[in-house]
Amino acid sequence: MTFQPAGAATIAAKTPASETARRNQPLQSFDLLVGPLSFSQAARRGLAFYLLSDGIAVWLATTGLVAQAFVLLGLSRLLAIAFGWLAVGRRSARRGLGAVRRPWLEALLYLFTLAVVAAANGTGSFAASLSGFPASQALRVSAATAIDAAVGYLTVQGDGFFRVVTRGLLSLLKGLEALLTLTPWPVLFAVIGFAAWKRGGPMLLAVVWAALGYLGLFGYWAEALQTSALVLASLCVCLVIGIPVGILLAKSPVSRAIASPVLDLMQTMPSFVYLLPAVAFFSIGKPPALIATVIFALPPLVRLTCLGIEQVPLHVREAMQAHGATPLQTLLKAELPLALPSIRTGINQTIMMCLSMVVVAALIGGGGLGYNVLFALQNVQYGEGILAGLGIVFCAVLFDRLAGSGRKGGA
Amino acid sequence: MNAVPKMLFETSPAAGLSKPVVSCRDVWKVFGHRPTVERILDDLRAGRIDGERARKDHGCVVAVNGASFDVYPSEVFCIMGLSGSGKSTLIRHVNRLIEATSGDILIDERSINALDARALRDLRARRIGMVFQNVALLPHRTVEENTRLPLELRGETEAATDAAVQRALAIVGLSGWEDRFPRELSGGMQQRVGLARALAADADILLMDEPFSALDPLIRKQLQDEFRRLVKTLGKTALFITHDLDEAIRIGDRIAIMRDGRIVQTGTPAEIVLAPVNDYVAQFVEGISPVHFVDAQRIMVPPARYAIDTATGLPVAGRDTRLDRLIELQTESGGPIAIVEGATVVGAIGAREILLAMRGRGERQKETCA
């Protein structure tokens, strides 16, 4: 067991500046040792986790990746400690549930751990493995290659499907664009002005006309309409996908557990990353721009629809049921109407996120105001860039005030 | 307190004569991990495990513990218990908002356990109306639209719906409020809408889940009386949940007292007040005045005690005269009252008997202690 202090010393020596690390070090090595014991709190589910991690570690060790196997073991112990901790806290709240302890299994695993660790120590790679994380270039490259292959395969195999989607999206976009561009500008002024008047009175009318006037006077009219068409088309797709999915998530905890990380991924993954696959699937132009926009803008709508439906009080559902409502009737007559404010907020969020994507979308041929910004940046024209950027802001103002969540005064 | 309506002393109008409308037969509801529940159910039934053990050792909550009762046509059946006694869970079994772990619920002597989703919806939409403690109106609908909900759900024609809605709103005294939204109404009026909604469907069974608990005392009393009158004139059968014994006595033809998921006593208000089966029930009825429940039969002494031979010159009363009337008679004449059956004097009641009856609770407690 001499390796333990040695490992600790290595880390301490490597990071002398980090006072916290040194203070925590003895505790961590101790936990690493008693990991299996702390883990005895984690009950059955934890046991499965433990067996899995150790199994993978053994497999790694047999394929020669001893250092990685050791790191995995260490990590799994730390995780187990954390989970064991959680389990203790939770169980004290409801004692007697799932308290299955298997001391002999713990002991066995502990011995096993020590054996594997000792083996790793024998190779001498242990100390080295702690000073820098044992990265595997090959692993990353092979994963990336696999993804490339998958994208390539899908591009070929799904060609027909992607073609149909592309055509559908394109016709939606073209239709909206035609509707907007073929309408004479005075008519648009009048219609939007009227909507603003109904919604917020003369004050809003003034704001809306000022924004429209800016777009017109500075020559962004056509681009603004293109951008609006892209935003509206994305919104349509988002609504068609987002609301049903939101309802599904509210109804089924399983699908929520699955979808939640996917939604997180969609929101946090930098949009440039999926811009390229989108191009691979849907070729260059507006459809991939639209798809990238939808991926980015969909999560808030899904989440807020789900939230709105979840927030419908139980007694309202009960009352609907008690009077003989079918699940569909409950949804349409009680849940959706009560979730409407939340869904409206979701729509507003989605519109704003669509607008924030227009510059990125311009990179792959989304056109519109985003292209103006992009062009100005590429040619180092600060003035042009800022003016076009302002154009996007005014578009956002128009959308927000007219299609917003309705929190603003007025009717 | 205790301004008890007159019908209280009668036994339930149809009890024993006709067939029950709603019956619960040994209904159990155990919440928890399903396999565990199934494993311990037999032990629970046999009494080898009690609710406390089930919770501590198995993580299951016994909400309803072998409840059985019958509700007869046109009867108001109150289920009374403190919060957590399982009464709200129990009432939700009657329209299967909650499925029983074991046991039968019968409507018109037919089990509803086996009904498929469509038949169950039909039963809920046509036979059983429900009113909730928190009213549960749809905030985005007007009074009129809320009231029409059950008819709309079962696909009734517009004309039939309109007529039923108008009738229901008139019954609860809300004509003229059709276009208001629930948030514009007071709590009492909202509950009237809840009641109108249940009545509009013209269901013959009403499930009332603590409908008046959240209202202030005066409104509550008013609605209690109105409800009782309304149910009786419309001939509805009602299950009424309450945590308030006064309310149960005021409204119910019969009362079931629940504790920890078990029904500890079922009976008319008089039976509950005068003959509580255990200390728990006795504690509840402690504050209830006996004047409306005690009758002459119960407290009279042999006429010889007051040296009475004939009723001549004395105030007379029948065996079933209630204590409040006896007090009136006694205070008017100042002397003993002759209790007569036909022409013969069967008993006598003096001031002493009346005073002892008023103190009756003390005696009963002594009995239970002994």
Q: Are residues B215 and B324 in the same domain?
A: no
Q: Using a CB-CB distance cutoff of 8 angstroms, which residues of chain A are in contact with residue B201?
A: 323
Q: What is the DSSP letter of B74?
A: T
Interchain contact, A329 vs B153, CB within 8 Å: yes
DSSP B96-121: TSS--SEEEEEETTEESTT--HHHHH
Query: Could you say which of B289, B311, B345 is where a domain stops?
Result: B289
* Mean pLDDT (whole number) for B288-310: 84
- How many whole angstroms separate alpha carbon B287 and alpha carbon B14? 29
Q: Are residues B300 and B282 in the same domain?
A: no
Interface test with B, best of A323, A330, A333, A336 (most B CBs within 10 A): A323
Sheet holding B128-131, edge to edge: B128-131, B205-209, B237-242, B76-81, B254-259, B262-267
pLDDT band for position B201 (cuts 50, 70, 90): confident
Query: Is residue A237 a part of any domain in this protein?
Result: yes
Nearest residue of chain A to residue B58 (CA atoms):
A96
Q: Are residues A221 and A130 in the same domain?
A: no
CB atoms within 10 A of CB A158: 13
Structure tokens at B72: 């007869």
- How distant is the Cα of A319 from the closest Cα of chain B, in angstroms? 6
Query: Could you say which of B267, B289, B311 is where a domain stops?
Result: B289
Q: Are residues A248 and A110 in the same domain?
A: no
Q: Using a CB-CB distance cutoff of 8 angstroms, which residues of chain A are in contact with residue B136?
A: 313, 315-316, 318-319
A252 three-class SS: coil
Strand partners, A124: none
Element (H, E) at B344: strand B344-349
- How distant is the Cα of B244 from the closest Cα of chain A, in angstroms? 22
Q: What is the pLDDT along chain A (411 residues), one digit of tens a residue?
A: 333 443 333 333 333 444 433 333 333 344 444 444 444 444 455 566 667 777 777 777 766 677 777 777 777 767 666 655 555 444 443 333 333 345 566 566 666 666 665 565 555 455 555 556 666 788 889 889 998 899 889 888 888 888 888 889 889 999 998 998 888 889 988 998 998 888 888 888 899 999 999 999 998 988 999 999 999 999 999 999 999 999 999 999 899 889 988 998 888 888 888 888 888 888 888 888 888 889 889 999 999 999 999 999 999 999 999 998 999 999 999 999 999 999 999 999 999 999 888 888 888 888 889 899 989 988 989 899 999 999 999 998 888 888 764 544 333
Structure tokens at A143: 């994963």
Most confident listed range (A86-100, B15-29, B356-370) = B15-29
Number of compact structural domains in chain A: 2
Query: Is residue A146 a part of any domain in this protein?
Result: no
- How distant is the Cα of A228 from the closest Cα of chain B, in angstroms? 32
Interchain contact, A96 vs B57, CB within 8 Å: yes
Strand partners, B322: B295
| pLDDT given for residue B284 in this prediction | 85
Structure tokens at B86: 């399982």
CATH code, A232:
1.10.3720.10
| pLDDT given for residue A405 in this prediction | 46
- How distant is the Cα of B40 from the closest Cα of chain A, in angstroms? 15
B87 at interface of A, judged by CB pairs closer than 8 A: no
Candidates A94, A96, A323; nearest CB to B125: A323
Q: Using a CB-CB distance cutoff of 8 angstroms, which residues of chain B are in contact with residue A97?
A: 59
- How many whole angstroms separate alpha carbon A195 and alpha carbon A205? 8
Residue A62's domain comprises 3-135
Q: Are residues B14 and B99 in the same domain?
A: yes
Q: Please, are residues A98 and A44 in contact by the beta-carbon 8 Å criterion? A: yes
Please determine, for residue B363, whether its predicted confidence score (pLDDT) is greater than 90: no
Cα dist. B212→A132, B143, B149, B170, B248 in Å?
Answer: 70, 19, 22, 20, 12
Q: Are residues B283 and B308 in the same domain?
A: no
DSSP A102-148: -HHHHHHHHHHHHHHHHHHHHHTHHHHHHHS----HHHHHHHHHHHH
Q: Are residues B273 and B310 in the same domain?
A: no
Q: Using a CB-CB distance cutoff of 8 angstroms, which residues of chain B are in contact with residue A325?
A: 121, 153
CATH code, B121:
3.40.50.300
Query: Is residue A387 a part of any domain in this protein?
Result: yes
Element (H, E) at B349: strand B344-349
Q: Please, are residues B289 and B2 in contact by the beta-carbon 8 Å criterion? A: yes
Query: Could you say which of B239, B259, B289 is where a domain stops?
Result: B289
Instruction: Give the residue carrying structure tokens 């309803």.
Output: B64
Q: Are residues B223 and B120 in the same domain?
A: yes
Q: Are residues B285 and B299 in the same domain?
A: no
Number of compact structural domains in chain B: 2
Candidates A94, A95, A324; nearest CB to B150: A324
- How distant is the Cα of A332 from the closest Cα of chain B, in angstroms? 11
Picking from B159, B233, B94, the residue whose alpha carbon sits closest to that of residue B148 is: B159
Q: Are residues A165 and A108 in the same domain?
A: no
Query: Is residue A291 a part of any domain in this protein?
Result: yes
B197 at interface of A, judged by CB pairs closer than 8 A: yes
* ipTM given for this complex: 0.79
Structure tokens at B65: 């513990």
| pLDDT given for residue B209 in this prediction | 92
Q: Which residue has the higher pLDDT, A116 or B222?
A: B222
Q: Using a CB-CB distance cutoff of 8 angstroms, which residues of chain A are in contact with residue B126?
A: 324
- How many whole angstroms separate alpha carbon B125 and alpha carbon B122? 5
Q: What is the DSSP letter of A41?
A: G
Query: Is residue B364 a part of any domain in this protein?
Result: yes
> What secondary structure, in 3-state letters, does B241-304 show?
EECCHHHHHHHCCEEEEEECCEEEEEECHHHHHHCCCCHHHHHHHCCCCHHHCCEHHHHCECHH
Picking from B299, B264, B300, the residue whose alpha carbon sits closest to that of residue B283 is: B264
Q: Please, are residues A212 and A195 in contact by the beta-carbon 8 Å criterion? A: no
Candidates A313, A323, A338; nearest CB to B150: A323
Interchain contact, A321 vs B138, CB within 8 Å: no
CB atoms within 10 A of CB A140: 10
- Which residues between 199 and 218 in chain B have a beta carbon less than 8 angstroms from any beta carbon of chain A? 201, 207
B134 at interface of A, judged by CB pairs closer than 8 A: yes
| pLDDT given for residue B91 in this prediction | 93
Residue B349's domain comprises 294-369
The fraction of chain B above a pLDDT of 70, given in percent, is: 92
Size of interface A-B (CB pairs under 8 A): 65
Cα dist. B102→B45, B68, B97, B131 in Å?
Answer: 10, 12, 15, 25
- A123-150: pLDDT as tens digits: 545 555 555 666 678 888 988 999 889 9
